[in-house]
Amino acid sequence: MRKPWPVVFALTLILTALILMPSAASAGLYELDQEGNRTYVSSGRIKYMPASKEEFIIIFNAAKGAITQIDPEKKLYSEGSLDEYCDAVNSRIDAILKTLPGEQREKIEEAMSGGNTPDVEVSEGGAGERIAGYDTEKYKVTVNGTVYEEVWIARDKALLKEINEFNSKWKRKFDACTSKAFALAGVPNIETSKKYQELQNSGWEMKTNIYRGGQLLKTIQAEKLEERDIPESEFSAPAGYKKVPVSLMMGLGGKL
């Protein structure tokens, strides 16, 4: 499963910085990576909590059809439907495009319209490492013939249950919503590749080597991944935070 890192990375560049009745707690998964970022998954919901307070916390709630963004520094949050979120992302992108020189803007608009679609290939790399207590299989992802990622996937049954619940409810629509963000950030949108989607839907991503220009840029690896009961409060904004419009959180103006 593709965790929110690439989407958060793309949107951060752009913005200068995306079931069941509630109970006291729900069974789910908790992951801590080597940089201190935390991910919670339960009942079709994903919460990505960066280690840095300068970055937004993002909650994807497929069961409710909502996205919540939380600003820990300013103690603000917004909550809106996926359509509201997508409209705000696209409005922000359109505003940025207007400030770009003509040739640069045309290139980005071509990429947004589906031009220059990357050629994505996924190849098996055999048995991978044992990471955070899970056996993995390794894969190499190339884009236009150049290595783009190396991915270690775990396929534990409990992991697959949570993955399938989220993907079946929402993932495809969300990927389509954020395609413009990747184009503006200058990042190839491999999320819509059928081969890449099959890889992401096949298991939980335990480790990723990210390459740019054929050079290793960054490694993201799970330090801890465990099943645990997750309180319902993890998937809500903290008490005392002020709710603001989605457009304001996206930097589109408005009043607090």
CA–CA separation, 173 and 122 (whole Å): 22
Residue 22 covered by a domain: yes
- Mean pLDDT, range 96-111, rounded to an integer: 83
CA–CA separation, 195 and 204 (whole Å): 16
The helix or strand, by DSSP H or E, that contains position 223, with its residue range, turns out to be strand 215-231
- Residue 200 vs residue 170, higher pLDDT: 200
Residue 77 covered by a domain: yes
- The pLDDT value recorded for residue 133 is 92
DSSP 241: P
Structural domain containing residue 50 = 5-249
* Total number of domains constituting the chain: 1
Please check the confidence at residue 9 and state whether its pLDDT lies above 50: no
- Residue 15 vs residue 201, higher pLDDT: 201
The helix or strand, by DSSP H or E, that contains position 242, with its residue range, turns out to be strand 242-243
Q: E strands of 104-199, at which residues?
A: 120-131, 134-143, 146-154
- The pLDDT value recorded for residue 160 is 72
CB 67 within 8 A of CB 48: no
Read off the pLDDT of residues 65-94 as tens digits, 9 standing for 90 and up. 889 999 999 999 999 998 888 888 888 888
**Selection from 74, 67, 75 nearest residue 46 by Cα:** 67
- Helices 82-97 and 5-15, axial angle in degrees (round to 10): 40
Beta bridge mates, 218:
210
Give 159: exposed, middle or buried? Use CB within 10 Å, 0-12, 13-18, 19+: buried
Q: Whole-number mean pLDDT of the chain?
A: 81
Q: What is the CATH number of the domain that holds 117?
A: 2.50.20.10
Q: How confident is the model at residue 56 (pLDDT cuts 50, 70, 90)?
A: very high
Residue 165 covered by a domain: yes
Residue 255 covered by a domain: no
**Minimum mean pLDDT range among 20-24, 76-80, 223-227, 247-251:** 20-24
- Residue 222 vs residue 18, higher pLDDT: 222
CA–CA separation, 207 and 136 (whole Å): 9
What are the φ/ψ torsions at residue 97 (nearest 5 degrees)?
-60, -35
Structure tokens at 131: 């990471």
- The pLDDT value recorded for residue 17 is 30
- The pLDDT value recorded for residue 16 is 31
Residue 128 covered by a domain: yes
Read off the pLDDT of residues 131-187 as tens digits, 9 standing for 90 and up. 999 999 999 999 999 999 999 999 877 677 766 666 665 666 666 677 777 777 777
CB 50 within 8 A of CB 37: yes
Residue 111 covered by a domain: yes
Please check the confidence at residue 19 and state whether its pLDDT lies above 60: no
Residue 60 covered by a domain: yes
